[in-house]
């Protein structure tokens, strides 16, 4: 089954304790992205990757790191989490469709709480 998986689905942690949220896709997609979703703000992009070893900042990259060592995996790293990073996080992947149209496939989300 074609899918994007994220782990963990729920995480409660304390300020300053490094954490990693994993993301994996089995569709051989070039593009992967991380979003955070907050009430009233919609989906805001954190980082994205066009392919292996190619990453770039999105709209809200501060406090986050990513890496893309393999095509299927795109982990999100919070080196020193703070309460303002409490949010719902989504990983997505995509492949270029016909004539510039494409579909992003989203993971199930990770609910992060930083106390």
Q: List residues binding another protein (CB under 8 A).
A: 4, 31, 33, 40-45, 48, 50, 90, 92, 94, 96, 99-104, 106-109
Closest approach, Cβ 21 to another protein, in A, equals 14
Tell me the three-class secondary structure of 6-65, residue by residue: EECCEEEECCCCCEEEEEEECCCCCEEEEEEEECCCEEEEEEEEEECCEEEECCCCCCCE
**Alpha-carbon span 99 to 86, nearest angstrom:** 38
Closest approach, Cβ 16 to another protein, in A, equals 29
Residue among 17 and 96 whose Cβ is closer to another protein: 96
Residue among 47 and 64 whose Cβ is closer to another protein: 47
**Alpha-carbon span 80 to 65, nearest angstrom:** 11
Exposed, middle or buried: residue 15 (CB in 10 Å: 0-12, 13-18, 19+)?
Answer: exposed
Residue among 14 and 54 whose Cβ is closer to another protein: 54
Closest approach, Cβ 46 to another protein, in A, equals 13
Residue among 1 and 100 whose Cβ is closer to another protein: 100
């Amino acid at each position: 089954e074609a899918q994007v998986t994220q782990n963990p689905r729920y995480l409660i942690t304390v300020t300053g304790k490094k954490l990693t949220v994993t993301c994996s896709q089995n569709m051989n997609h070039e593009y992967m992205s991380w979003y955070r979703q907050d009430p009233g703000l919609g989906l805001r992009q954190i980082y994205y990757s066009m392919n292996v070893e190619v990453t770039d900042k999105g709209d809200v990259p501060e406090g986050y790191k990513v890496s893309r060592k393999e095509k299927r995996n795109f982990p999100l790293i919070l080196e020193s989490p703070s309460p303002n990073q409490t949010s719902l996080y989504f990983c997505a992947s995509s492949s270029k469709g016909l004539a510039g149209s494409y579909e992003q496939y989203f993971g199930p989300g990770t609910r992060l709480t930083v106390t």
